[in-house]
C-alpha cells in the first residue's frame, strides 16, 4: 500500500514559499545595509558583511541549535520518530547557517585582521561545532537502523547544544581577536539605531529562512520515510 | 490476568527491523513458570533476535516485553535480574581467566561469595582444571561450556538459550540436558532455540516454529516428534 | 550505597585489570611521550627556544593523546565476545555502569599523566617546588572533563562499528575548551606566577567537569540501550 | 611478475578499503594533528617562540603518531574472525603478503602526511617555494623506513595478543634514528638553508630504508608462521 | 610408496603443545584421493589443532605434514593451493561485504573471473540476496554458510571441515551434504570433524576417534553406525 502523501506535499510547498521569501529577504537586507545604513567609521565597507555574519551566527546558536536539542531530548523521552526527524532537518539547516558564519567570518577577517583565520577561541569552537554537525549527519547516513540512528544522533546534538554557551562566552573566556557581543548581552545593545534596525531585519530574515528550510526538508523527509517504510513492508 | 501471579514472560507484538530486513514481524509470547518453550526455525527466521529482545538487549521497533510483569523498556535493573541468556557469543572477556570472568559476573548479580559460586559453576561444566585459562585458549566446546556456566551462574528464573548444544561433545551434551532438567523446576521457565528438536525434546512443554519473524506454529509439545519434524520440514521448505 | 560502590569498583577494576594484562594503551602512550620528547629535543635550537616555552604544549599534547587512546580502548575491549552485552544484562543501573567505565578511563589517563609528569620535569628541568599541587589539580580537572565526554561517545563504538568512524571528530569539540584552559593555566604556573592568576581558569575547568559529567550520566542510557 | 603485483595490490587494496570503510585511524590521526596545532597555538607566547622553531617538531610528532596508529591498525583488522588465517592459507608467498601490508601502511601514513603538510604550511605560514620537493622526499624516506619495521612487528600482534603488549616498545628504538635524521633535515630545510646541508641526512634515511626493508622481508615469515 | 602418486595428505608423528597442554601427542595420518575421513572426539581432544596443522596454519612442535608429497613446513605457496579449510572462525572481514570477501579470496587463489566465482559460491549457499551485506549483519547460520562458500571457492583437492554443520538449519544442512557428496570425486579428499557422526556418516569412507591428542580408533567406516556410536561412547567416557 502506498501511504497518502498529500499532506507531506502541502508541507513541502509551504516550506518552499517561505524559503524563497527568506532568500529575497537577504537581498533586501543587503540593499538596506549598503544603501540605507551609515558606513562604520573604522572598518569602512568591510563592516557591511556584519549584517549577514551576525544574523546567521545568532540564528545558528540561539534558534537552530536549541530547537535541535529540544527535539532530540523529546525524542529520547517519548521515542517518537517525528521528533527525531525534526531534529535531523533542523541540524541540517544549522550546519548550513554555521557554514555561512564560517565563510562570512573570514571574508570579514581578511580586511580587518589581515588574515583569513586565527585559532581564536570562538573561531576554533565554531569550526568544531560545524564539524560536530557534519559528524552528526555522517553518523545518520551510516546507521540504517532507525531506532539506533535516532538515539545516537539525539545524544550528539544534545551535547552539541551545550557547546553553544561556550561559543558565546568564548570571547570573554579567551579574549581572542573576535569582537564581543553587541546584542546578546546583559546591557542594552551598543549600536547606532540605523545599524541596529538593519541588523534586526537581518536576524528576522534569517529566522524566516530557517523556518522555511526546516519545513521544506521536513516535508521531503516525510516522503522519503514513507517510501522506505513502503519498501520494507 | 490476576496481578497475584504475572506470567514469567509477557511479550506483545514484538517487531524489529534492521534497515530493510524485518527480523521480527509481530511476535506474541506468554511463558508461565514451569514451562519450557522449544523454538525452531530456518536461518534468519529471527530466533536470536527474539531471544535478545526478551532479554532486553534489543529495543524492539514495536511491541513490549514484561518479565514477571515488569517492563524492560525503561531502565529497571531489578527487572533484568531473573534473566539468564546464552547467546551466540560467550560474553566472556578474552583477557580475563574463566574464574575472573565468572567472579565478575557473580559480583554484578550480587551473589554471596562469588568465588565459591564461580568454582562450583566451572566444576558443573567440567572446567575446574581450566579455571585459570583464558577463554581464547580453550577449545570451542570448552568455550561453549564456559558460556553456559556464566549464563547459569545466578540460577535465573528465566533461561534463554540460543543453540546451547553447539560444539558440545556427547558427554557434555548429556550433562547439559541433565543440568537443564534439574534447573527447570516449578518457579522457573526456559526458552530453547535449536536446529535439532531431538536435542531438547524431552525438556520441552511447548514447541514453536518461527518463520520470517512470525510464529508459523505454536502449541503444547506434540506427542510424536518424528511427526512434528515432518510438519516442520513442510513449513521450512513451504 | 555500599552496593553501588561495590558495583562501580567491580566494573572499573575489571577494565583496569584488562589494561594491566595487555598494557597496550599505557605503553603506546608512554612510548609516544618519549617520542615527543626526543623529537623536540633534536628539533629544538636551544638558543632560539627556551624549554619553558615548550613544556606546557608538549605536556598537554601527550595528555590529550593518552585520553584519545583510552577512549578508543574503553569499549573495544567490550566488543570481543560481545562481553558488553554481559554488562547490559546484569541488574546494574546504566548510571553505575557509566561511572564504572568512567572511573577506569580516568585512572588510566591519570596514570599516564603520573608517568609523563616526572619525565617532563626532568626533561625540561622545571622547578615545580610551589607549582606542583596546582599543576596536579589542573591535570585532574582537565582530564575529568574530557574523559567524561569521551566515555559517553566511545560507548557508541561498542554498539556500532560505524560510530568508531566518528569518535575522534565527535570528541574534538569537547576537548578544545578544557584543553585551552589547561594550557592557559599551565603556562603561568610553570612560569612561577602567583596562584591568584590561575584561579579563574581552574574554576572554569571545575564547572566544565560538573556540566559534562552530569550530562554524560543522563545521556548514557540512550547510548547503550539498543 | 604481473601475478605478484596483482596479489600485492589485492592485499593492499583490501586494507585500504577497510580503512576507508571505518576511517578510524585516518580521522584520529587528523584530529590529533588539529589538537596539536590548537594546543601549541594557545600555549605559544608569540614573542618568545617563533613558529618556525616549532614547525619541524610538530610536523614529525604528528607523522610518528600517524604511523603508530597505522601499525596498530594494520593487523588488528586481521584478527577479527581470524581473517589473517585466510591470508596465510592462500598460495601467496610470505614476502608478497608482507609487501601488501607494507604498501597499505605506507599509503596510509603518506595520506596522513599529505593532509597534514598543507595544514602546517598554512598554520605556520611557511614558505616552501624551494624547500617543498626535498621536504616531500624527506617525508617519503623517513616514513618508508619506520613503516617497514612497524609492519613487521605489528604482524606479531595478529598472531599472539602478548606481542601487542610489546609493539610500541619494540618499535621505539627503530623509529628514533630515522626520526632524528628527519628532524635534523627538516630544520635547515624550513630555515631555507642550501640543500647541500641536508644531502647526508637524506642519504642516511635512504640507507636505513634499504637495510630495514630487506631485513623485514626476510624476517616476516618467521613472525607469522605459528 | 611410488612417487608417481603421493597420498593427498601424509602426516607423521604430529605433536603440538600449548604450554602444559598437549593438544596433539603424535598423530599419523595418510589420506588418499577419494577418501573421506570422519573425525570424532570429545572437546579438547585436539581435532581443531589437527586440522590447523594439516592446513599448515600451525607449526607442530614435532612431526611433519606433506600435501601431495610437498612439505608444508617451509614456505611453499603452491603446496598450500590444494587446501581448503573451514575453521571455527569464518575468516571473513567484518568490514567487507560477502561479495568483496569472496572476490578477495578468489584473487588470492588466482581464480579466473573472481566476481563470477564469488556470486556462484554465494548462490550455492542461498546467500545471493545477501551479497552486499557485511558478515556481522548476518544470522549465525548465514555466517556459517558464508564461511563454507569461502572454503569451497577454489574447489580444493583437500577439504578440511571443522564442525561444518554448526548453526545450519535442516535445509542448509541437506544442501551442504549434497554439495560435499558432489565435491568428493576421485581426485579429492576430505577430513570432516564433527560431534554427530550421523551428520556425515554417508559421506565417510573412514572414521577416526581422537582422544587426548592420539588416535583411539581409526578404521574404514564400520557397517553399523549405531554400534560404532556405542564404541565411541565407551572410548569417550573412558
Ligand atoms: C573568522 C571566522 C569567524 C567566526 C567563525 C565567527 C563566529 C561568530 C559567532 C559564532 C558569532 C555568534 C556569537 C553569539 O551569538 O554568541 C559571531 C558573532 C559576531 N561576530 Fe564573528 N566570527 C568570525 C569572524 C568575525 C570577524 C572578523 C568579525 C569582525 C571583526 C566578527 C564580528 C562579529 C560580531 C560583531 C558578532 C556579534 C557579537 C554578538 O552579538 O554576539 N566575526 N561570530
Ligand atoms: N546486527 C544486525 N544488523 C543487521 N541485520 C541483522 C542484525 N542481526 C540480525 N540481522 C538480520 O535479522 C535476521 C534475523 O537474524 P537472527 O540472528 O535472529 O536469525 P536466527 O533465527 O537466529 O538465525 P540462525 O538460526 O542462523 O541463528 C537475519 O536476516 C539477519 O540478517
Ligand atoms: N591457542 C591456544 N592456546 C592455548 N591452548 C590451546 C589453544 N588452542 C587450543 N588449545 C588447547 O588445545 C587442546 C585442544 O584444542 P582443540 O581446539 O584442538 O580441541 P577440539 O578437539 O577442537 O575440541 P572441540 O571439540 O571443543 O572443538 C585444548 O585443551 C585447548 O585448550
Ligand atoms: Mg541465531
Ligand atoms: Mg574444535
Per-residue confidence (pLDDT) for residue C163, from 0 to 100: 53
More confident: B10 or A141: B10
Per-residue confidence (pLDDT) for residue C29, from 0 to 100: 74
Cell of B14: 514484538
Instruction: Say whether D22 and E95 touch across the interface (CB within 8 A).
Output: yes
Which long-range contacts (C-beta less than 8 Å, at least 24 apart) are formed by D43-47? D43/C53, D43/C56, D43/C57, D43/C60, D43/C183, D43/C186, D43/C187, D44/C53, D44/C57, D45/C53, D45/C187
Q: What is the pTM of this model?
A: 0.89
CB E76 within 8 A of CB E70: yes
The neighbours of chain B, by the rule of 3 or more Cβ pairs under 8 Å, are A, C, D, E
Measured distance CA(C63)–CA(D32) in Å, rounded:
11
Q: What is the mean pLDDT of residues A78-103?
A: 93
Reading across the β-sheet that carries E21-31, which strands appear in turn? Answer: E21-31, E9-18, E62-67, E70-71
Reading across the β-sheet that carries E158-162, which strands appear in turn? Answer: E83-86, E158-162, E189-193, E36-40, E206-211, E214-220
Q: Which helix (H) or strand (E) holds E157?
A: none
Weakest-pLDDT range from A116-125, B27-36, C152-161 = C152-161
**D36: nearest Cα among D5, D68, D64:** D64
H helices of chain C, where?
2-22, 24-43, 51-79, 83-89, 94-123, 132-159, 161-190, 199-224
Instruction: Calculate the CA dihedral of residues B162, B168, B171, B173 and round it to 10 degrees.
Output: 10
Per-residue confidence (pLDDT) for residue E2, from 0 to 100: 47
A84, A140, A143, A144, best to mutate vs chain B, most B CBs in 10 Å: A144
pLDDT digits (tens, 9 = 90+) for C55-96: 788 888 888 877 777 777 777 788 888 899 999 999 999 999
Minimum CA–CA partner of C159 in chain A: A148
| DSSP code, position E56 | T
Q: What is the mean pLDDT of residues D4-11?
A: 93
Residue of E131, E139, E169, E170 to test ligand 2 pocket, by largest number of atoms within 8 Å of CB: E139
CB E95 within 8 A of CB D21: yes
pLDDT band at A1 (very low <50, low <70, confident <90, very high): very low
Beta bridge partners of E14: E27
- B5: distance to nearest CA of chain E, Å? 36
CB C119 within 8 A of CB C35: no
Q: Which ligand is nearest to the CA of B168?
A: 3
pLDDT digits (tens, 9 = 90+) for C89-145: 999 999 999 999 999 999 988 988 888 888 888 887 777 777 888 889 999 999 999
- E175: distance to nearest CA of chain B, Å? 12
Measured distance CA(D219)–CA(D161) in Å, rounded:
19
Helix (DSSP H) and strand (DSSP E) numbers for chain D: 8, 0
Please give chain B's pLDDT, 238 residues, in tens.
445 678 999 999 999 988 778 999 999 999 999 999 999 999 999 999 999 999 998 888 889 999 999 988 667 889 999 999 999 999 999 889 999 999 999 999 999 999 999 999 999 999 999 999 999 999 999 999 999 999 999 999 999 999 999 999 988 999 999 999 998 887 899 999 999 999 999 999 999 999 999 999 999 998 888 888 888 888 887 7
Weakest-pLDDT range from B33-37, C164-168, E52-56 = C164-168
Question: Ligand 3: residues within 6 Å at CB?
Answer: B 137-142, 167, 169; E 18, 21, 23, 41, 43-49
Judged by a CB distance cut-off of 8 A, whether residue C76 touches chain E is no
Per-residue confidence (pLDDT) for residue B2, from 0 to 100: 47
- C170: distance to nearest CA of chain B, Å? 24
Instruction: Say whether C89 and B110 touch across the interface (CB within 8 A).
Output: no
With beta carbons under 8 A apart, name residues in chain D contacting A124.
38
Per-residue confidence (pLDDT) for residue E10, from 0 to 100: 93
For chain D, the residue count is 226
Q: Is C104 exposed, middle or buried (0-12, 13-18, 19+ CB in 10 A)?
A: buried
Distances, alpha carbon B237 to alpha carbons B110, B231, E129, E137, in Å: 47, 10, 18, 24
Nearest CA to ligand 2 atom 5: E137
Measured distance CA(E87)–CA(B83) in Å, rounded:
32
**Phi and psi of A24, rounded to 5°?**
-55, -45
Judged by a CB distance cut-off of 8 A, whether residue E95 touches chain C is yes
Q: Rounded to 5 degrees, what angle do the CA atoms C153, C158, C164 make?
A: 60
Per-residue confidence (pLDDT) for residue B8, from 0 to 100: 93
Per-residue confidence (pLDDT) for residue D48, from 0 to 100: 62
Per-residue confidence (pLDDT) for residue C160, from 0 to 100: 64
More confident: A132 or B75: A132
Beta bridge partners of A160: none
Per-residue confidence (pLDDT) for residue C36, from 0 to 100: 79
Measured distance CA(D90)–CA(D84) in Å, rounded:
10
**B22: nearest Cα among B47, B54, B46, B43:** B46
Distances, alpha carbon E58 to alpha carbons A48, D102, E51, E54, in Å: 73, 24, 9, 8
Q: What is the mean pLDDT of chain A?
A: 85
Instruction: Say whether B17 and A231 touch across the interface (CB within 8 A).
Output: no
pLDDT digits (tens, 9 = 90+) for C170-223: 888 888 888 888 888 888 888 888 888 888 888 889 999 999 999 999 999 888
Per-residue confidence (pLDDT) for residue E125, from 0 to 100: 94
Q: What is the mean pLDDT of chain D?
A: 82
Beta carbon pairs, B and E, within 8 Å: 77
For residue C4, count other CB atoms closer than 10 A to its CB.
Answer: 13
DSSP for C126-159 reads: ---TTTHHHHHHHHHHHHHHHHHHHHHHHHHHHH
Instruction: Say whether E108 and D91 touch across the interface (CB within 8 A).
Output: yes
pLDDT digits (tens, 9 = 90+) for C32-52: 777 777 777 777 766 666 667
Judged by a CB distance cut-off of 8 A, whether residue B18 touches chain A is yes
Per-residue confidence (pLDDT) for residue D51, from 0 to 100: 66
pLDDT band at E1 (very low <50, low <70, confident <90, very high): very low
Q: What percent of chain E has pLDDT over 90?
A: 76
pLDDT band at D45 (very low <50, low <70, confident <90, very high): low
Amino acid at each position: 500500500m502506498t501511504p497518502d502523501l498529500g499532506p507531506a506535499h502541502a508541507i513541502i510547498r509551504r516550506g518552499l514559499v517561505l524559503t524563497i521569501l527568506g532568500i529575497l529577504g537577504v537581498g533586501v537586507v543587503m540593499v538596506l545595509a549598503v544603501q540605507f545604513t551609515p558606513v562604520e567609521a573604522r572598518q569602512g565597507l568591510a563592516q557591511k558583511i556584519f549584517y549577514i555574519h551576525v544574523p546567521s551566527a545568532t540564528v545558528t546558536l540561539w534558534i537552530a541549535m536549541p530547537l535541535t536539542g529540544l527535539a532530540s531530548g523529546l525524542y529520547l523521552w517519548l521515542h517518537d520518530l517525528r521528533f527525531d526527524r525534526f531534529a535531523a532537518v533542523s541540524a541540517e539547516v544549522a550546519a548550513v547557517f554555521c557554514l555561512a558564519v564560517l565563510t562570512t567570518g573570514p571574508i570579514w577577517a581578511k580586511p580587518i585582521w589581515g588574515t583569513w583565520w586565527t585559532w581564536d577561541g570562538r573561531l576554533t569552537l565554531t569550526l568544531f561545532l560545524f564539524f560536530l554537525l557534519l559528524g552528526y549527519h555522517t553518523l545518520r547516513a551510516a546507521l540504517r537502523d532507525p531506532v539506533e540512528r535516532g538515539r545516537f544522533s539525539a545524544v550528539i546534538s544534545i551535547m552539541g547544544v551545550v557547546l553553544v554557551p561556550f561559543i558565546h562566552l568564548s570571547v570573554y573566556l579567551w579574549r581572542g581577536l573576535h569582537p564581543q557581543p553587541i546584542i546578546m548581552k546583559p546591557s542594552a545593545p551598543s549600536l547606532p539605531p540605523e545599524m541596529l534596525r538593519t541588523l534586526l531585519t537581518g536576524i528576522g530574515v534569517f529566522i524566516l529562512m530557517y523556518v522555511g528550510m526546516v519545513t521544506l526538508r521536513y516535508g521531503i523527509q516525510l516522503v522519503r520515510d514513507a517510501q522506505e517504510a513502503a519498501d520494507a513492508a | 490476568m490476576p496481578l497475584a501471579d504475572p506470567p514469567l514472560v509477557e511479550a506483545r507484538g514484538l517487531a524489529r527491523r534492521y534497515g530493510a530486513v524485518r527480523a521480527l514481524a509481530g511476535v506474541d509470547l506468554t511463558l508461565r513458570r514451569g514451562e519450557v518453550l522449544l523454538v525452531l526455525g530456518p536461518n534468519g527466521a529471527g530466533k536470536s533476535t527474539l531471544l535478545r529482545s526478551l532479554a532486553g538487549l534489543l529495543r524492539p521497533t514495536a511491541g513490549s516485553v514484561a518479565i514477571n510483569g515488569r517492563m524492560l523498556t525503561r531502565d529497571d535493573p531489578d527487572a533484568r535480574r531473573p534473566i539468564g541468556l546464552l547467546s551466540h557469543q560467550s560474553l566472556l572477556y578474552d583477557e580475563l581467566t574463566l574464574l575472573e570472568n565468572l567472579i565478575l559476573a557473580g559480583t554484578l548479580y550480587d551473589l554471596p561469595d562469588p568465588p565459591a559460586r564461580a568454582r562450583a559453576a566451572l566444576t558443573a561444566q567440567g572446567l575446574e582444571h581450566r579455571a585459570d585459562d583464558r577463554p581464547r585458549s580453550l577449545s570451542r566446546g570448552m568455550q561453549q561450556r564456559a558460556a553456559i556456566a556464566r549464563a547459569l551462574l545466578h540460577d535465573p528464573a528465566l533461561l534463554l538459550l540460543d543453540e546451547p548444544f553447539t560444539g558440545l561433545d556427547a558427554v557434555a551434551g548429556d550433562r547439559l540436558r541433565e543440568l537443564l532438567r534439574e534447573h527447570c523446576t516449578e518457579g522457573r521457565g526456559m526458552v530453547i532455540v535449536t536446529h535439532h528438536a531431538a536435542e531438547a525434546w524431552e525438556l520441552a512443554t511447548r514447541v514453536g516454529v518461527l518463520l520470517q519473524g512470525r510464529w508459523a506454529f505454536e502449541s503444547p509439545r506434540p506427542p510424536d516428534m518424528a511427526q512434528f519434524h515432518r510438519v516442520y520440514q513442510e513449513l521450512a521448505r513451504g | 550505597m555500599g552496593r553501588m560502590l561495590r558495583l562501580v569498583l567491580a566494573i572499573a577494576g575489571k577494565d583496569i585489570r584488562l589494561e594491566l594484562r595487555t598494557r597496550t594503551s599505557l605503553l603506546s602512550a608512554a612510548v609516544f611521550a618519549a617520542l615527543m620528547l626526543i623529537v623536540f629535543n633534536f628539533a629544538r635550537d636551544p638558543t632560539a627556544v627556551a624549554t619553558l616555552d615548550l613544556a606546557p604544549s608538549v605536556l598537554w599534547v601527550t595528555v590529550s593523546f593518552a585520553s584519545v587512546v583510552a577512549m578508543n580502548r574503553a569499549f573495544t575491549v567490550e566488543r570481543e565476545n560481545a562481553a558488553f552485552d554481559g554488562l547490559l544484562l546484569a541488574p546494574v543501573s546504566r548510571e553505575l555502569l557509566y561511572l564504572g567505565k568512567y572511573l577506569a578511563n580516568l585512572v588510566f589517563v591519570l596514570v599516564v599523566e603520573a608517568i609523563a609528569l616526572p619525565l617532563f620535569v626532568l626533561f625540561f628541568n622545571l622547578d615545580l617546588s610551589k607549582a606542583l599541587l596546582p599543576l596536579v589539580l589542573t591535570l585532574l580537572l582537565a582530564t575529568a572533563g574530557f574523559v567524561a565526554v569521551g566515555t559517553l561517545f566511545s560507548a557508541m563504538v561498542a554498539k556500532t562499528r560505524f560510530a568508531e568512524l566518528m569518535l575522534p571528530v565527535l570528541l574534538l569539540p569537547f576537548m578544545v575548551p578544557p584543553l585551552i584552559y589547561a594550557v592557559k593555566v599551565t603556562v603561568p604556573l610553570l612560569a612561577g606566577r602567583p596562584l591568584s592568576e590561575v584561579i579563574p581558569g581552574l574554576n572554569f575547568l571545575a564547572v566544565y567537569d560538573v556540566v559534562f559529567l552530569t550530562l554524560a550520566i543522563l545521556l548514557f542510557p540512550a547510548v547503550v540501550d539498543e
